[in-house]
Amino acid sequence: MIGHVDADCFYVSAERVRFPHLTGVPVGVIGNHGACIIAKSYEAKAAGIKTGTPIWEGVTLCPDAVYVKRDFRWYEALSRKMLELVKEVSPRVEFYSIDESFYEVEVIDPHGLQAAILERVGVPVSVGIAPTKTLAKLCSDSSKPFGVRIVTSDDERRELLAGIPVTEVCGIAGKAAIKLAAHRITTCDEFVAADNRLIRKLLTVVGERLWYELRGEPVLPVLISRAAHQRIARGGSIGRATRDPARVAAFVVRNVERVVEALFYYQVTCDQLTLSLDFRGAPGRAIRCSLLGSTADTGDLRDAALWLLPRVWRPASATVHYMHVIADRLRPLTDRQRSLFERRTVKDERIEFVKRSINDVVGRFALRSASTLPLTDVYDDPANSYDIPDIHGKTCF
């Protein structure tokens, strides 16, 4: 049996741990740049607020709500406390995401685990237990808030799946849902009643695995460590959209430095770099370049990204609002392909070492490229000091 622990309204619950006066009050958590609500309490949800609602609409929908800016460093601290408690009841635990984990069930006592997390962390969670990961997640989802659901028999499994939209299954959305709908498959019970060969044809082997999982036949193991990265990407919204070349270039360098952090953490280098930009009112563009050998060097990757910038930013008058820097073709640091034209010197390595050492002690981005000076407003905002994609060890992405 597999268990799934899922925090209820995690960001809001985490804020209530340190600010108990928020309990019972409608709460909205707003994102990096204060524009959108990225999480809401059940009270705020009842008022019509959804994830992604702009803050100005949220204030109109629920003027009595308290809106707080997200703090992923705090959320990660609570997340790891929750993870340690789950490890007390199981030797095999998967850190799936910041607010979710799977575990192999040795003793079925979801209420005990739920109570322990609430008492020692302060966060309410829902727990699902079932023969497979996919069913366990549906169990916890269907028992929110602060519920427990256990599926052990086929009758209980069929009752769980009956009428649930197939899009509730993690991994089925968008085009996959459209393909299934064309064959009149819109619910989970219709999905498992379909021929597995049809599901494989429509959704490849990935969808077929879900078909088996929903039938109670486990094919997805609990992963106690994440698989090696195929690529590492850093980026996201840049806040207010802009056509200012200095500000866009500064965000490119910021994201390069985040990529370099991750490459160092995982001890890998990359052979290729991609820069993608999204524009207001125009299709997004992405361009990739090969690097001179495998590298995780800030200077190499910064220069490559800035070389790509004018090539992907066309027309230059387009307004940028979203971007990603993607390191591809990863290699272990110990097995990297050197270049005949390598320019990295011992001095460069010392500078990297000093930069990393200072930031480890003083704080992330305390020492950073001067190219990011146009983002002083971003770095001066403590809420921007930590980004959710930079939490290491999760298996969801």
CB–CB of 312/224 below 8 Å?
Answer: no
Structure tokens at 169: 């299954």
Q: For residue 31, give every residue at least 6 positions away whose Cβ sits within 8 Å of its Cβ, in sequence order, or none.
A: 37, 38, 70, 237
Answer whether 60's CB lies under 8 Å from 66's CB.
no
Contact 309, 249 (CB under 8 A): yes
Q: Which amino acid is at 268?
A: V
Let me know: does 298 contact 257? Beta carbons within 8 Å.
yes
Lay out the sheet containing 320-332: strands in order across: 231-242, 320-332, 268-279, 282-295
Give the torsion through C-alpha atoms of 119, 5, 150, 215, to 10 deg.
180
- The residue type found at 53 is T
The bridge status of strand 66-69 relative to strand 2-7 is unpaired
Question: Which residues are paired to 285 by β-bridges?
Answer: 277
Give the position of tokens 């460590």. 225
Amino acid (one-letter) located at 175: K
Give the single-character DSSP code of 382: G
Is 242 within 8 Å of 221 (Cβ atoms)? no
- Whether residue 245 contacts residue 306, with contact meaning beta carbons closer than 8 Å, is answered with no
**CA 97 from centre of chain:** 7
The yes-or-no answer on residue 84 being catalytic is no
Candidates 100, 213, 257, 261; catalytic one: 100
CA distances from 130 to 96, 124, 219, 259 (A): 17, 20, 13, 37
- Positions annotated as catalytic residues are 100
